[in-house]
Structure 1
Amino acid sequence: MKRKRKPSEKMNKEKGARKVPYSRRTATRITSIVFFTVILFSLVFNVIFFSKYQTIRNSVKAQENSIEEELNQVHDSNLIHSHSIVVFTDQFLQQYFGIPESEDERKKRLETLSTYFVSGYDLQRLGNLDDFKGSRVLKDLQYMDTEQISRNQANVHFIAKYEIVENPGESKEGDNKENDPKKVANRVEIVVPVTTDGKGYAVYQNPRLVESDLRTTMNAEPNELEGELPTSSEYKKLQSFLTEFFTSYGTSDEKLPFMAEVERGLNDQILQSVTIRQVAKDHRASYRAIVDVQYQNNQTSLNSLYTYKLQLSFENNKFFIESME
């Protein structure tokens, strides 16, 4: 016969049983959500990180390229303004203007010129010399200016003096034409387009002749000397002293060191006149003067006028020239 369980025993058993707040399925779901969320955030973080990294890398690379380009520009610019570009152009023009008479020497000239031009330059563009029976000789070169036109290009200006000697053709019997060579001297301003690769120079176009007018029309305001005007007595003493000084200065006589701080004077210049254009003195008994001095060459009757700016001191009732220019 089955024993009937008492209600108190059933309640005690239910109280002793462990209660699980979540099921295994719920725990697995939460774990999966957390796992995939971490992975997702990790991927997003990596994408953002690598995107930022690539942006910074590209920025740094761009800055490096910019700095390198600027350094190259500075280097090229230094080469453009270097005196070496003048030396290069001078050497080029020596070869360019020198045209020999013989055919073999002319071929050698073209070979030499090819080393000055950029690679592949067509030297036929220099002109056809087949009809020219003579020679051209460079007499003098004078550098004028270097005009920078880009980062690595410049126009180099020179003054060239040359002489052309052209031989006449064979005269026919009874022809009265003179057989003497024809000589023509000329003076031109020539511009040579030069480029650089940072290592050296090359001519990239044919030279061209120009005519620059270096003169200008302008007004120059006179520079007035600051200070007090000397008295009439001081002016006469100064005039007398300057006449004596420039007389000695024109011939470099033995009295010159006692009147001025100069190493040496002139030779064979006879004083004609001294004109004081401006004079002023300050509180330290110091004088400044601008004077026109006219000299005549002792060997000829040629007169020349010169202007001097003087700084004088006055001590013990005597003038002394401290500096002159």
Structure 2
Amino acid sequence: MPKQFIPFPEAKHRPAIIVDSLYPKGLVLAHWRGAINPNGTADDTSAGIVLNALKQNIQGLDVPYVTANHFDVDGFVGVWSILNPAEALQNEAVLRQMALIGDFRELDLTHPAVDQALKLVCWLNKVEKDKFYPPFGADEWEENEVEASVPKFEYFLAAFKEVLTHPENYKQDWKAEYEQVLADYQILHSLATQVSIFPEIGLVQLQTPRPVHYYALFSRTIGYDMVLAQYTENRYELEYKYTTWVDICSRPTLPRIPLKPLAHILQKRETSGRQWTAENVTDTGPILRLEGKQLHKKERYANPTERPIYSSSIPPAIVTEQVVAYFREKYTGVMPKQRWTWPEIKAFNN
């Protein structure tokens, strides 16, 4: 019997597989903190967990429904794979790369499946914005995304198989972003970009001429969890990657440290008249940056090329020095591990 996608609230009344979300009943296949996935299915992405479950044909996959509480690339790929298991396993490598690009923005152009995966992710991004709304673009997102995401799922679940099979027929949708990513990737992998790694604090510093697409920027950060981007004219952003909001299984991580105290440290040196700000550690991707105005969540989630990044009065070397010193002090004596819980992270920071 074919499975069916249902809106998340209906999981109260119907037996459903829960993808990329938490729920107290049903088979949960998610990389969210606190999710208890079946033995042997661990993966960095929720879609990877789903694909592992399908390959092993684990118990619980025979229920008639599947759901998720939000729409993003990783969650969509997971839901689609549950509904189309044979096709999913035939295209496993592409789907895994889609989830990595979509969730962690980690693009590895040396992977044989990544070119098609990038085209498909760019297609999803373009059509999602054109037909619906961009990520975190629903009004009062946390309250409305559960409902607002349903039409997205219905549309993309119906359309995706054809695009997966014949991506070149949809070039008009993915071409512009795809070409931007490739051009920016070349900048990040050229002598124009200087990379400094601080493994003891999980930080990569990228000194590059201008803001670039996230998929290019984070292509130099695979295996690390914080990114300090330094652009010309003293423009800076420090960001925690999504790899520390979820549970990844491929490597241990350090717990998140609040960025607001670091903002206060930098503010004491700032003479531009602008304010250093940062989100809480529980945000999906908190950014330390110099503000002109407070950015909406959808603007922070969008690519650095899509938001203003202001010049600071602080020289790059001083910013690096302050950032590295702050995290080295906070992480003194702390060992990376897997499966940090939010209570552990909050207790550590208290």
Say which structure is richer in strand: 1
- TM-score under structure 1 length normalisation: 0.21
Higher Cα Rg: structure 1 or 2?
A: 1
Structure with bigger RCO (C-alpha 8 Å, 6+ apart) = 2
